[in-house]
Amino acid sequence: MADLTRLHAHEMSRLLRAGEISSRALIEAHLAAAERQNHALNAWLVIYRADALAGADVADRRLAEARRTGPAALAALHPLCGVPVGLKDLVSVKGGQATAGSKILAGYIAPFDSTVTARLRAAGAVILGKTNMDEFAMGSSTEHSAYGPTANPWDLTRVPGGSSGGSAAAVAAFHTPLAIGTDTGGSVRQPASMCGIVGLRPTYGRVSRFGIVAFASSLDQIGPFARDSRDAATLLHAVSGHDRRDATSAPIPVPPELLSLPATDDEAAAYLRGRRLALPTEYFVEGMEPGVAARVGEAVAAMEAAGAKVEEVSLPHTDYGLATYYIIAPAECSSNLARYDGVKYGFADRSSGEFIADYLRTRGAGFGPEVKRRIMLGTYALSAGYYDAYYLKAQKVRTLIKADFDAVWAAGFDAICAPTSPTVAFPLGARTEDPVAMYLSDACTLPANMAGLPGMSIPAGLSDGLPVGLQVIGAPWSELSMLRLARAYEAITARATWRAIEPADLHLTDDPTTPSPAERKTRRMQGASAKGSGGQA
């Protein structure tokens, strides 16, 4: 049989149910790849080998019992039974770490499972480990982790995107077919675009946030990574649903059709006929790379040729999305991160013996530069005399951004199509000294978060050998329609040559002498410094 790590999750599920492979063999293959290649990628912060193998054995027993019982028992099992999945390291797993990529949570052991974890366990999925991320999900490159940057398997000198870059890189590198990320301003869709995989941010409230380390509570949403739309739909089905422990969780039914996206390309492609797709002019932002614009244009043209109707629209308040986000998100983060004081859990510096001094030392040493920057911005925006001028005004603009989208849905459009990221993956270290340039990476994804809308990124080809993502934004609770549209696009491009291309630098990760992402970033920065001072790189 071909390499088990190259199978899609729905293929794994079929073979597991038929008894042609075991979950233990599947998990062992993925563990071996992750452990062998992680030195070059730093996608994983911890790998749960013993727990994963134990979980695989439990899944194999469940599958064997269902096969003995009969077809109805097999059909009752969730398709994820026995299938591996990775979790971003802000998802609580009882007895495991949840660092959120921060030194201030080093040593913290979660005393309970998040709702997402509990639902994955109930489905029979096998958790491989926890993936790297920007500290507290604040970043667009996964370079702001206290545990070092993650590399992109397409080019190890480049970022995977962020903040869920560890999850995206792990899926793109075939370490796991599925992973969980969180999307506050684009942190599922943007790394999915840069790593050439599928990433979906559901409607705000679709997936419970209980047990997830919070960044910005009105924006955060958990979402799946996968290598195709069918697998993304299956993972979304497993983790979605109302949760009374989360006040923001919506009592909206989970569509069972998420588990039955078309298997054949002809049936899938038929969904495009008659669909009205909006193409917002404001999303083709200044500075967008020509190759990105070209691939997105080709993707939209292909859907139009397959029967969709594409019309340009205007979302006039899009230009205010970046500024609005960077008032609201830091304000919420400054509130959420106030709990990290060195008293209750995680890292603590008690060297002075005085409470206030230790509190300041703990936060000063425990938080990284990007987190400190956003805490200061948010505290300023919420301070007396500035609340009305900044935070309140930003919330009003947020309402206008949502109204722009509402007008599109009222006009009868089925979805909005746009670029996911204005650029392909950029070099490690290229934007860490320029926060504004880093923030612009999310210019195309932020508006959907401000409006609480579902959005996803699907692979749309390559530009200069690096992945480009097509973003699909839907009306509230329209994840099923979005996934059907994505599946249709996969069908009409199934024979495209770029679909058969694996990440270009993946072979380098098998070499134990390959430098780590941190070493590569340091070398690049030193080279840039030498050039800037007139020396030789």
Residue 531 lies in a domain: no
Same domain for 147 and 192? yes
Nearest alpha-carbon partner for 241 in 252, 227, 229, 257: 252
pLDDT the model gives residue 433: 84
Choosing from 163, 240, 249, 421, which is the catalytic residue? Answer: 163
Mean pLDDT of 469-483: 98
| C-beta neighbour count of 140 within 10 angstroms | 30
pLDDT tens readout for residues 70-98: 999 999 999 999 999 999 999 999 999 99
Residue 110 lies in a domain: yes
Give the 3-state secondary structure of residue 534: coil
DSSP secondary structure string for all residues of 87-143: EETTB--TTSB--TT-GGGTT-B-SS--HHHHHHHHHT-EEEEEE--SGGG--SSS-
Same domain for 182 and 243? yes
Choosing from 92, 167, 187, 478, which is the catalytic residue? Answer: 187
Same domain for 206 and 295? yes
Residues forming beta bridges with residue 458, ordered by sequence position: 470
Q: Which of 392, 415, 434 is the C-terminal boundary of a domain?
A: 392
Same domain for 377 and 479? no
Residue 152 lies in a domain: yes
Is 344 among the residues known to form the active site? no
Contacts of 441 (CB under 8 A, 6+ apart): 140, 141, 161, 186, 190, 421, 422, 423, 426, 431
pLDDT the model gives residue 2: 60
The answer to whether 473 and 416 have CB atoms below 8 angstroms apart is: yes
Please provide residue 30's backbone torsions phi and psi, each rounded to the nearest 5 degrees. Answer: -75, -40
Residue 532 lies in a domain: no
pLDDT the model gives residue 73: 97
Mean pLDDT of 440-448: 93
pLDDT tens readout for residues 449-468: 999 999 999 999 999 999 99
Same domain for 154 and 57? yes
C-alpha–C-alpha distance, residues 341 and 180, integer Å: 28
Is 521 among the residues known to form the active site? no
Same domain for 146 and 245? yes
pLDDT the model gives residue 396: 97
pLDDT the model gives residue 534: 59
CATH number at residue 227: 3.90.1300.10
Residues in the chain: 537
Same domain for 232 and 251? yes
pLDDT the model gives residue 527: 77
Is 187 among the residues known to form the active site? yes
Mean pLDDT of 482-490: 98
| Residue 480 vs residue 536, higher pLDDT | 480
pLDDT tens readout for residues 266-294: 999 999 999 999 999 999 988 899 999 99
Same domain for 114 and 127? yes
Residue 4 lies in a domain: no
Residue 435 reports pLDDT greater than 50: yes
Residues forming beta bridges with residue 280, ordered by sequence position: 313
Residue 411 reports pLDDT greater than 70: yes
Same domain for 303 and 334? no
Residue 537 reports pLDDT greater than 70: no
Mean pLDDT of 378-387: 92
C-alpha–C-alpha distance, residues 331 and 329, integer Å: 5
Residues forming beta bridges with residue 417, ordered by sequence position: 472
Choosing from 13, 88, 167, 478, which is the catalytic residue? Answer: 88
Which percentage of the chain shows pLDDT scores above 90? 92
**Number of domains comprising the chain:** 2
What is the pTM (predicted TM-score) of this model? 0.96
Q: What is the mean pLDDT of the chain?
A: 96
Q: Which of 345, 360, 392 is the C-terminal boundary of a domain?
A: 392
Mean pLDDT of 26-32: 98
Same domain for 404 and 417? yes
Same domain for 38 and 87? yes
Q: Which domain holds residue 52?
A: 9-262+276-320+398-510
pLDDT tens readout for residues 143-156: 999 999 999 999 99
Q: Which of 334, 367, 392 is the C-terminal boundary of a domain?
A: 392
Same domain for 15 and 82? yes
- Amino acid identity of residue 352, one-letter, is S
C-alpha–C-alpha distance, residues 66 and 77, integer Å: 8
Residue 533 lies in a domain: no
Residue 41 lies in a domain: yes
Residue 179 lies in a domain: yes
